[in-house]
Amino acid sequence: MKFIEFKKIPRLSREILVTEKLDGSNGQIYIVKEEELTSLDDYFFIEEHLLAKKDNLLMFAGSRNRWLQIGKQTDNMAFATWVKENAEQLFELGEGRHFGEWYGKGIQRGYGLDYKRFALFNVSKWVAKDDYITVENQKFAPYCCSVVPVMYEGPFDTTTINDVLAILKDKGSLAVPGYMNPEGIVIYHTAAGQYFKKTIEGDDKPKGVTNG
């Protein structure tokens, strides 16, 4: 019989990263070497979903739960189209799966924007080029991408988390200055390797349940 051990429990009082939670649609840019996709299923996947190729690198786009194709019903509000149009810059991201939020005009809150943006989640790796400086292990994101705003970095503390949320509510969005109805924050616990979210409104209710 297979033995299953109890997993180690990470310490709560460790570093966290708090970022603004953007209200849009989850997006993924996947860049992979062509020689890594060799099965028959991979062949059909490439035929149906390939958006761009550069040397031996292939680029695909996904939403939260499926791969995307160019087209009204399979494009996730034109995210796949945007990836294809910006592929030359996006190849700067390098191999891997790059997750972020596709937000702006016509998506959820909209943020008063007349266009759509893609904000990368991994603030430990990426910094927006208009921030001008990086720290150790950070790289500048492609110009076509933004990065979710960091609101706090330090030890886990519930009071600090609530204070950050209150500042967001009072001052408005950091991602889109002047927009006064932001959604909330995301807390990344480094020891647990886990994301948590806390919203300004309806945080005590299950997703999809409103006060109305």
- Least trusted range by pLDDT, from 28-37, 110-119, 120-129, 201-210: 201-210
Bridge partners (DSSP) listed for residue 62? 28, 67
Residue 103 has pLDDT above 50, yes or no: yes
Q: Which residues contact 142 (CB under 8 A, 6 or more apart)?
A: 86, 89, 90, 92, 93, 129
The tokens 């705003």 sit on which residue?
Answer: 149
pLDDT in tens, 59-75: 999 999 999 999 877 89
Mean pLDDT of 102-112: 97
Instruction: Tell me the percentage of the chain whose pLDDT exceeds 90.
Output: 87
Instruction: Classify 15-199 by CATH class.
Output: alpha beta
Is pLDDT larger for residue 181 or for residue 211?
Answer: 181
The Cα–Cα gap between 8 and 70 comes to 44
- Least trusted range by pLDDT, from 108-112, 132-136, 148-152: 132-136
Bridge partners (DSSP) listed for residue 186? 19, 197
Residue 211 has pLDDT above 60, yes or no: no
Residue 209 has pLDDT above 70, yes or no: no
Residue 212: predicted pLDDT: 41
Q: Which two tokens stand for residue 88?
A: 């030359």
Average pLDDT, the chain: 94
Residue 183: predicted pLDDT: 98
Mean pLDDT of 184-190: 97
Q: What is the pTM of this model?
A: 0.91
Residue 137 has pLDDT above 90, yes or no: no
Give the single-character DSSP code of 161: H
